[in-house]
Structure 1
Amino acid sequence: MSTGALFGDDQHEEELLFRFAVDRINSDSTILAQTTLVPQIERVDHFDSFHANKRVCSLLNNGVVAIFGPSGLSASSSHTQSICDALEIPHVETSWDFQIQRDDLSINLYPKTVVLAKAYIDLVKAWNWKVFAIAYETNEGIIRIQEFLKEAERHDWQIFLYQFKPGKPYRDTFWEINKSHSKIVNIVLDVKHENLVNVLRHAQQVGMMTEIHSYLITSLDLHTVDLEDFKFGNTKISSFRLVDVISPELQDLMSQWSLLASKIGKKHILPPKYILTDSALVYDGVKLLATALQDLDQSQSVDGIQPISCENGSPWLYGSSLINYMRPITFRGITGLVGFDQSGYRSNFALDVMSIFPDGLQKIGYWTENSQVNGTSSLQINSDMMKQYSVISMKNVMLRVTTIISEPYTMWKESAISREGNQQYEGFAVDLIEELSKIMGFSYRFQLVKDNAYGIKDENGNWNGMIGELIRNEADIAIVDLTISSKREEAVDFTQPFMNTGISILFKKPTTKVTTLFSFLSPFQNIVWIYVLGAYISVSTILFIVGRLTPYEWDDPHPCRQGDNVLENNFSLINSFSFTIGTMMQQGSAVAPKAMSTRTVAAIWYFFTLIMISSYTANLAAFLTVEKVIYPIEDAEGMASQTQIKYGCLGTGTTKAFFAESKIPTHQRMWAFMKNNPSVFTKSNRDGIERVQKSNGNYAYLMESASIEYKIERDCNLTQIGGLLDTKGYGIASPKDSPYRNPLSHAILKLHENGILLQLKDRWWKQKKGGGKCAEETKKSSAVNNLSIDHVGGVFVVLLGGLTLSFLVAIFEFIWKARKSADKEESVIDEMIKDLRFAFACQSKTKIVQKNDDFVKDKFSDSCPPQYGSDYNTIY
């Protein structure tokens, strides 16, 4: 069974892979086990369609089941496709084709133009290109890149089109790009792969292969090009690759190249380092055809094919069936997953993202397409590889850094000798740039902004200050306490913030300290005092009740007068309250508990007062020696609600813009006050700080909290009032679409992760230039915290537990005594009820009892003088 192929005189590799594929198919018993493929090859001229027609007809006369090629957008290819479609011979293509609709008898293994363009667009989006040029070689190139033009309007891209002029050096076009648009550093190149080296060399000759330039190559064969002259230039050169270089089948093919070449009589052809995409597609195309023939042969016999004449126009009977068997086939080839849609276009394939490094071309990610889900795609980029690329792209670059004198970011260096250049400055921003240069390898030169301004836009739309210098290309980056804002983002680009901050209030500490008449109450919070008072009343009341309840607190006031049937209780209501207050004040009491229950109450009260008095005494000393500072304003709301204290901010900057644009009522009232009193605005932060220092507490200054932290570390008379009114960040600014923005952002994130930025802040805020001066004073003058209920709550819990225990003991004593005192006529229950009624009547501290002989003997025998004996009552 024969299969035909048409190749040009320059397509030796494609022809070789075609023969290799046929030979390996014939050697594989699992495919076409009952027949073999016979390759039929004809040479064609891409531009001679008449000659190509004759070669196609010659193949058809030999009885081929399918025809491969010729590749490329030529008249020969179009004529071949038309003949195959008319005679129903499957036509297999392996090269780029711009047609939207395919013929019924054609199938193409090369990715569809629209899908490839989507891959390029996804890569441009990932790199955040906003302005770039597209340079193409042939007219077909404009078809390949037309999707870029469609996406430009959606994403606000600026695209400049250039076509290399036939017969003229490529450098002429690159000169034109560089001269017309000096800001263009991103270029999409659409040229033939055999011309790539020459094109890149011409770009290098005109200075457009530097660290800041990036190139996206539309050819899928960049991996076959020798890029030795460009891999050390730090230029980002990237492309996609369809060939799966790690495919086991491809590796086996490359290892047996010499053996396969000798079998087909091509011993002199050496194996290439990488094979072309078209060659790999030819190999996969033969495998696809063989698989379809096997499936067709299983359903119907196609042992042979009769020669077909181009003159009589009789089609092949099985051609349509064969092409229909080819389209649903899916297999893993040397170009990855091979599958097709209903139109005969390649679908569900993957592309490797390739970029050049000093070690050569390396894979940095992959792109996949899924035609089953609304044409969705996915792009995955190795972030570590991209970070390495970012570092490489700034090596040996000289950056012009604009800044402004602002403590502690950029300051004049104090020195006894004269200094020049970067040695004149020191500060947080200076150290930050130095750390970034160590990571990324660039050099820099500081320059002070000419008009001493950060940057605001005037009524004519012109920017001044550092922002203006970046826009006018007078500087490459700007660094200081430059706030990232939406308006500035419209004019310039910002890196990731290297410091987070927000607007706060700088105020002078009051010189007079305030003390109160009742400072002795300060050791405890008010709620604690309330709890103590409640505990005092509760314990006194419980002591009174327990004292009346227990029988062991009832004594005869005259124990030797046995005729008196009266008992007395010393724990009256007044005595109970007097007892608890006396013990609390550590003064004692004339009344002492006798029963176990009342002693329990007393013991737990002693413990409670011990803890409370000790805590109070320990905290009182600190409160009596520390004077509390009272601030006339506590926050922005308090400041906006008064008129005695004036407040203002920097006259040019984001703080003023924040209040002018804020929709919060408090901020709007503050802005109305400042707008009606223009004298509150200052020309610089230094002027605002000095105004606060010289004021007698009648001026507050609104500025970034980071700068406030720096000042209050050195001036102990200043303080920060309230929290942050907003949140913002300081970033490094660069011109729009600057190639330095992303690399610098990556480096700043690295400094964040390593803790370097925190170390720099501690160095310039708390160590150098008098930092940390007020730390000890802050510790000494810090207010003492009064004790809350959380500190002493456990003592109240113990007190409650002790009172509960005393109740239980009192009840036990009551029951025990009632049982002993009950006479024969009354039951124990009756005796208990009678005593309970008396105890809770609370009418008297004495009660009448019936004294029997046992009662007198037990109660008074040891109390009466022995000389009186039983007659003592009468004598007394």
Structure 2
Amino acid sequence: MVKEGWNLQGNARFEGFCIDLLARVAAQAGFAYRLRLVPDNMYGARDPDTGQWNGIVRELMDRKADIAVASMTINYAREAVIDFTKPFMNLGIGILFKVPTSQPTRLFSFLNPLAIEIWLYVLAAYILVSFTLFVMARFSPYEWSSSTHVCGHETKLLTNQFSVCNSLWFITGTFLRQGSGLNPKATSTRIVGGIWWFFTLIILSSYTANLAAFLTVERTVLPIQSAADLAAQTSVQYGTLNGGSTMTFFRDSNIDIYQKMWQHMSTTSPPALVSSYEEGVRRVLQGNYAFLMESTMLDHRVQRDCNLTQIGGLLDSKGYGIATWKGSPWRDRISLAILELQEKGVIQILYDKWWKNTGDVCNRDGKDSKANPLGVQNIGGVFVTLLCGLALAIMVAILEFCWHTKKNASQGRQSLCSEMGQELRTAMRGGSSSRTVLRPGCSRCSPATHVPPAPSRYEAQDASNSVVELKELRWS
């Protein structure tokens, strides 16, 4: 890298990993050097039409330079015209992409812990178990309770607590862990209740375990996950450095996916190939663009910008080496110096200095794991559900009131309006939870001959409790 804002001359104008490496190699191999930049700012690629090389490779072939120290990849084409030392760093091709913005929070985010098909299966199970409980309670003799009603002749009255509504209420209460006041008596219905309790235990435990993570941890979804995903779509553009080894890799590859990617990169408009790494990173930050680059530079960028990330693994494996002109006597001496620096851990120290210990490394741990406070956009759907339930209850109460007053009006032989007025006055009278209702007596019974049945455990024991149990009756 070239130092900016300094009035420096000669080798002092440059800094970076390769500059520090060159200084230590020169001290180890015993030579002095003078740095200069290549005029066309290219690493070196062979023109397939003319067969001519450019960039650093051209400079070495013409012996305008003795050695080249850069992030220069060792490959077959370059090795045929210039020499490389032992690699001082191993790498591969990675995909640089912009971290997508978080998905907008939905009002009913509390439903996210379970997939939509699971919610549908739970609803189907709820209906199936309710129906099964109702049918089994009807068929089991142990779910029927009897009492005696005397009205001129003795009559046996049978009641069953599990009507259709009560069956649904029992399943609902147990699913929400609130109970329902109903307890199965027969072995068959108890088995149904027990297996439903086990089912709800697993479902609610799974839901609760995932609920906190879905509501508090910020999640992002990448539109692509690998090079195969890039090749299979056209919405996200992708490219690489023009004239670099990565471009050569795709251009000369015999793998179908990479050939398809090169065909796209070489023909798309606007051009997918960029003239510098800075331009490629800038296009990535603008969005909707993936940059194929060498993993060392990719890591350097990702660790300093939290808006960037790497997608998938490496597409190949190769190394960086110091280049010399063909037959240079310095190649072996520099290779020995590199091996010695690797064994002493000097190269790893330099890597940590320029990649990890620069002070401007992005801290991703706190961003990915920090739980965010819940807002209306996270659990507002719960309040909407509550309001809808209350509105539904009010509508049902109005319908029940209208149906009850109409039935009483027809039995009491009075107008519907007067019956509604009487019911409203009674309902609005506060301070008491009991009421006296006078209705015509039993047509078959008289007060002298009527013996009411003994109250069972499912009948209202005290009118002040305002508890009315629904019962199904049948005569035997």
With normalisation by structure 2, the TM-score equals 0.61
AA of the residue aligned to 1:425 = F
Kept in 2: contact 1:449–1:466 (CA 8 A): no
1:488 Cα deviation (Å)?
0.5
- Quick check: 1:715–1:774 contact (8 Å CA) kept in 2? no
Counterpart check, 1:429 vs 2:18: yes
Matching residue of 1:507: 97
Q: Pick 1 or 2: higher relative contact order, CA cutoff 8 A, min separation 6.
A: 2
**Can you list the C-alpha shifts for 1:526-582, whole angstroms capped at 9, x where unaligned?**
57557755765676577668767977x434232798x76776554467644542232
Which residue does 1:558 correspond to in 2?
A: 147
CA distance in 1, matches of 2:348, 2:171: 58
Aligned to 2:42: 453
Match of 2:252 in 1: 661
Q: SS in structure 1 opposite 2:146?
A: coil
Does the 8 A contact of 1:645 with 1:699 survive in 2?
A: yes
Within a 5 Å distance, the mapping from 1:220-239 to structure 2 comes to: none
CA distance in 2, matches of 1:496, 1:578: 77
Whether the 8 Å CA contact 2:306–2:362 is kept in 1: the answer is: no
SS of 2:78's partner is helix
Deviations 1:460-515 (A, max 9, x none): 65533322333344444323211121100111233443333333433334557444
Do 1:515 and 1:627's aligned partners in 2 also have CA atoms closer than 8 Å?
Answer: no
Distance 2:345 2:193 in 1: 60
In the alignment, the residues of structure 2 paired with residue 539 and residue 754 of structure 1 have an alpha-carbon distance, to the nearest angstrom, of 71
Asked if 1 retains the 8 angstrom alpha-carbon contact of 2:145 and 2:158, the reply is: yes
Spell out, residue by residue over 1:432-474, the C-alpha distance to the aligned partner (whole angstroms, 9 max, x if none). Answer: 4456567x56455351333232122356655333223333444
Match of 1:479 in 2: 69
Instruction: Measure the CA separation in 2 of the matches of 1:525 and 1:742.
Output: 62
Distance in 1, matches of 2:63 and 2:210, equals 65
CA contact (8 A) 2:217 2:370 kept: no
Alignment map for 1:13-412 (pairs within 5 Å): 411-412=1-2
Q: Of the candidates 445, 449, 469, which is equivalent to residue 59 of structure 2?
A: 469
1:701 correspondence with 2:291? yes
Assess, with a 3 A threshold, how the Cα gap between structure 1 residues 555 and 488 changes in structure 2: closer, same or farther.
Answer: same
Amino acid in structure 2 at the alignment position of 1:450: V
Say whether the 8 Å CA contact 1:497–1:729 is kept in structure 2: yes
Distance, in Å, in 2 between the alignment partners of 1:637 and 1:445 is 44
Instruction: State the secondary structure of the residue aligned to 1:582.
Output: helix
Counterpart contact for 1:503–1:725, Cα < 8 Å = yes
Equivalent pair of 1:659/1:671 in contact (CA under 8 Å): yes
Q: Is the 8 A contact 1:712 1:774 kept in 2?
A: no
Q: 1:752, 1:603 → 2: CA distance?
A: 67
Q: 1:690 aligns with which of 275, 278, 282?
A: 282
Residue identity opposite 1:519 in structure 2: S
Match of 1:490 among 67, 76, 80: 80
Q: State the one-letter code of the partner of 2:84.
A: F
CA distance in 2, matches of 1:650, 1:465: 13
Any gaps of 5 or more consecutive residues in structure 2?
A: 373-453, 458-476
How far 1:769 sits from its partner (Å)?
A: 5.8
Structure-1 separation of matches of 2:79 and 2:328: 13
In structure 1, the partner of 2:402 is: none
SS at match of 2:171: helix
Whether the 8 Å CA contact 2:147–2:156 is kept in 1: the answer is no
Structure 2 distance, partners of 1:628, 1:498, is: 38
Given residue 428 of structure 1, which amino acid in structure 2 is its aligned partner? F
CA distance in 2, matches of 1:415, 1:535: 72
Contact persistence 2:109–2:215 (CA under 8 A): yes
Q: Is the 8 A contact 2:29 2:337 kept in 1?
A: no
Amino acid at match of 1:499: M
1:235-264 C-alpha deviation (Å, 9 max, x unpaired): xxxxxxxxxxxxxxxxxxxxxxxxxxxxxx
Give a deviation string over 1:708-730, Cα, whole Å, max 9, x none: 23223223333334444444332
1:587-620 per-residue CA deviation (whole Å, 9 max, x = no partner) reads 4324223467755764665465456435524533
How do residues 586-625 of structure 1 correspond to structure 2 at under 5 angstroms? 586-594=177-185, 602=193, 605-606=196-197, 609-610=200-201, 612-613=203-204, 615-617=206-208, 619-624=210-215
Q: Once superposed, which parts of structure 1, at least 4 consecutive aligned residues long, lie more than 6 Å away?
A: 548-551, 563-566
Tell me what 1:580 maps to: 171
SS in 1 for 2:33: strand
**TM-score, normalisation: structure 1:** 0.36
Answer whether contact 2:29 2:333 (CA < 8 A) is retained. Answer: no
How far did 1:663 drift? 3.4
Aligned partner of 1:647 in structure 2 is 238
Measured in 2, the distance between the counterparts of 1:741 and 1:568 equals 101
Partner of 2:325: 735
Q: 1:671 to 1:548 in 2, by over 3 A?
A: same
**Retained in 1: the 8 A contact 2:149–2:156?**
no
For residues 34-71 of structure 1, the C-alpha deviation after alignment (integer angstroms, 9 at most, x for no partner) is xxxxxxxxxxxxxxxxxxxxxxxxxxxxxxxxxxxxxx
Identical counterparts, % of pairs: 46
Structure-2 separation of matches of 1:506 and 1:781: 27
SS at match of 1:648: strand
CA contact (8 A) 1:449 1:465 kept: no
Counterpart Cα distance in 1 of 2:194 and 2:167 = 14
Structure 2: distance between partners of 1:534 and 1:575:
18
Partner of 2:390: none
Distance 1:604 1:721, change over 3 A: same
CA distance in 1, matches of 2:60, 2:273: 27
Is 1:712 matched up with 2:331? no
Separation in structure 1 between the aligned mates of residue 326 and residue 14 of structure 2, nearest angstrom: 27
CA contact (8 A) 1:454 1:467 kept: yes
Deviation of 1:636 after TM superposition, in Å, equals 4.1
Cα gap change, 1:450 to 1:594, in 2 (>3 Å):
same
Q: 1:639 offset after TM fit, Å?
A: 4.1
Counterpart-to-counterpart distance in 1, 2:33 and 2:359: 24
Structure 1: unaligned runs, 5 residues or longer: 1-410, 783-859, 864-876
Q: In the alignment, what sits opposite 1:523?
A: 113
What's the offset of the Cα at 1:689? 1.9
Alignment of 1:671-682 (within 5 A): 671-676=262-267, 677=269, 679-682=271-274
The AA in structure 1 aligned to 2:36 is: L
Tell me the secondary structure at the aligned position of residue 556 of structure 1. Answer: strand
* Cα separation, 2, equivalents of 1:533 and 1:757: 62
C-alpha separation in 2, matches of 1:600 and 1:482: 73
The number of equivalent residue pairs is 371
1:273-328 CA-to-partner distances (Å, cap 9, x unmatched) read xxxxxxxxxxxxxxxxxxxxxxxxxxxxxxxxxxxxxxxxxxxxxxxxxxxxxxxx
